[in-house]
Amino acid sequence: MKKNDIILIISILVITLVAVLGLNIWQRQNTNDSAMAVVIIDGEEYASYSLSVNRTETIELPDGSYNVLKISDGYAEVTEASCRDQICVNHFHIHYSGETIVCLPNKVVVEIVGGEEDDVDGFTN
């Protein structure tokens, strides 16, 4: 390799690093503290949790079934559940207003309200 090739490679790496760090800092500054994860059980609101506070909550149902909701870094996800199909556990974490995680066997819905809307109309996991 020639000296100019090495300078070019190092320049590209530095520009990439600065861009990634800049996006990371920008994203952290633009997090919306008003977003909430609302837990709905059998059609009734059970609880709501701010996405700005990291926590893990066990949602226990009267029939002994449960779901574990983990909120960290502005995202909500179900990390454990007593249902057989585990679709809610395998669902990607959510953080945009209107996104939901649904556990049909346990009749639990986790929905994000408030905060910013997603620019994408829809996606599949």
Look at residues 36, 40, 67 and name the one whose alpha carbon lies nearest to residue 53: 36
The predicted-structure confidence for 41-75, as pLDDT tens digits, reads as follows 999 999 999 998 999 999 999 999 999 999 998 89
pLDDT, tens digit (0-9, with 9 covering 90-100), for 76-85: 999 999 999 9
Half-sphere exposure of 7 (CA within 13 A, CB side): 3
Identify whether the C-beta of residue 94 lies closer than 8 Å to the C-beta of residue 112: yes
Q: Where are the alpha helices (DSSP H) in the chain?
A: 3-29, 87-90
Which helix (H) or strand (E) element contains residue 105? none
- Give this prediction's pTM: 0.68
- Environment class of residue 110 by beta-carbon count within 10 Å: exposed (0-12), middle (13-18) or buried (19+)? buried
